[in-house]
Chains A and B, each alone.
Chain A
Amino acid sequence: MIQIQGVSHRYGDREVLSGVDLSLGEDRIGVVGANGSGKSTLARLLNGLVVPTTGRVLVDGMDTARDGAGVRRKVGFVFSDPDAQIVMPTVAEDVAFSLRRHGLGKAEVADRVGGILARFGLGGHLDHPAHLLSSGQKQLLALASVLVTEPEILVCDEPTTLLDLRNSRQVADLLEGLTQQVIMVTHDLDLLAGWARVLVVNEGQVVQDGPAEQSIGRYKALMGAGRPC
């Protein structure tokens, strides 16, 4: 459970989020909004990558400003650009890297790495150079590297934006099947079909909070209203 209490955030003297109060407990929560509306900032608040200038964010009661490290162990984060998330030269090494400070034995690490990569359809690529994977496979690898530490919550900031239709379908299917709570920022409205809760962010405020159909309708209306002519 994530609680956002009276949060505003500014970069310099520019306020990009204001007066956000939310309790995020549902299994699947989507976030939509125009470019620059503050979605990524909101997402980064959830694992302490961004600390609010006013108000506070609590993850299972832990304050992100005080216990960022503890929060990040609970909240995994996946970005749009898989190339920026993969740090090791080969596929298996990148996943193993996440477990480096978990004090596990070599065999245990190999076990977990092999297991999750098999589940993600990358079992045949363990020792392949990561930079030779397709973008979709890279994103699956980034996802595996985050999920191997078994976070309770997964935040994704446009995880499919750089992928083609097939690859983004593959990533979406995988996210669909996760047992974790997933909070996903996306411009791909199809991904959110049927989700019980979707937030619409506009100019730094959450202007709609409800089931996917309603929220997406509101978002489209907002975007239409600003159209020239």
Chain B
Amino acid sequence: MLTSTFRPGASLLHRSGAGAKLLGLLVFSTVLVAFQSPLAVLAGFALVAGLYGLGGFGPRTLVAQVWPLRWFVLCLLPFQWWTAGWQVAVAVVGTLVVAVAGAALVTLATRVTDLLDVIARVLEPARAVGVDPERVALLLALTIRAVPVIAGTLHEARDARRARGLERSTRALVTPIVVRTIRHADRVGEALAARGIDD
């Protein structure tokens, strides 16, 4: 998931540059999509699984990364099978799963700040058209950081709704989330200003 699954380690995978890893991921996914065949999926899977091993991550970790895709896969696989045959089904669904596993591996072995540095560097030319790469990177960091905060708000709002006997009210769920998210954004903005980020 998005919420910083970085796991410290000293493997070759951890030590190689964030830029190299992102580029590798890009090339890997492109090749995978370009071939889109059961064989490519198999080869890609072998490579990804090997890299998980290299990074010191077990099969459990690998499965946990793609686990959120399970419903999607369960729907897509039979549908593709039925409409286009098993080869296409395996190629399409397998490509997706292997690509996600690869992307997750990069986040497992790379600090978010290092990824952001790369993004800021890649966006450097965009300065010419008025984009501040540092700000884009900061925005991404804040978005990643907001996920657990908003998830917490969701839980609380759901409980509060139940406590008041309003289980079925969408409004009782959405209103506090929107209000608190906006207030949270306000406070974050203020805290950033206080830390001199805006200066």
A residues with CB within 8 A of B:
47, 49, 68-69, 72-73, 76-77, 79, 81, 83-90, 93, 96-98, 101, 126-127, 129-131, 145-146, 149
Residues of B within 8 A of A131 (CB): 3, 145, 148-149, 152
Residues of A within 8 A of B144 (CB): 89
- B191 touching A79 by the CB < 8 A rule? yes
- A97 touching B188 by the CB < 8 A rule? no
- A87 touching B142 by the CB < 8 A rule? yes
CB distance from A4 to the nearest CB of B (A): 18
CB distance from A150 to the nearest CB of B (A): 12
- A49 touching B4 by the CB < 8 A rule? no
Residues of A within 8 A of B149 (CB): 83, 131
| B50 adjacent to chain A (CB < 8 Å) | no
Prevailing SS type, chain B contact patch: helix
CB distance from A127 to the nearest CB of B (A): 4
CA of A132 to CA of B3, assembled, Å:
11
CA of A101 to CA of B199, assembled, Å:
10
| B141 adjacent to chain A (CB < 8 Å) | yes
CA of A83 to CA of B4, assembled, Å:
16
CA of A90 to CA of B134, assembled, Å:
19
| B87 adjacent to chain A (CB < 8 Å) | no
With A84-B188, A89-B141, A96-B113 known, 7 other A-B pairs at CB within 8 A are A79-B194, A83-B184, A84-B191, A86-B145, A90-B112, A93-B112, A127-B8
Residues of A within 8 A of B145 (CB): 86-89, 130-131
How many B residues are at the interface, by size bracket? 20 to 34
- A89 touching B194 by the CB < 8 A rule? no
CB distance from B137 to the nearest CB of A (A): 10
CA of A228 to CA of B199, assembled, Å:
47
Residues of A within 8 A of B142 (CB): 87
Which single member of B113, B152, B191 contacts A85 (CB below 8 Å)?
B191
CA of A145 to CA of B197, assembled, Å:
12
- B194 touching A93 by the CB < 8 A rule? no
| B187 adjacent to chain A (CB < 8 Å) | yes
In the A-B complex, the 7 residue pairs with the closest CB atoms: A89-B4, A69-B199, A84-B187, A131-B148, A77-B194, A85-B191, A127-B8
Residues of A within 8 A of B113 (CB): 88, 93, 96-97
Which single member of B148, B188, B196 contacts A69 (CB below 8 Å)?
B196
Residues of B within 8 A of A76 (CB): 194
Residues of B within 8 A of A68 (CB): 199
| B6 adjacent to chain A (CB < 8 Å) | yes
Residue in A72, A101, A145 whose Cβ sees the most chain B Cβ within 10 Å: A72
A72-B196, A77-B194, A131-B148 given as contacts; is B141 within 8 A of A88 (CB)? Answer: yes
- B184 touching A84 by the CB < 8 A rule? yes
A-B contact pairs, 20 of them (CB 8 A): A49-B193, A69-B196, A69-B199, A72-B193, A76-B194, A77-B194, A79-B191, A79-B194, A84-B191, A85-B191, A87-B141, A87-B192, A88-B145, A89-B4, A89-B141, A89-B144, A90-B112, A96-B113, A127-B7, A127-B8
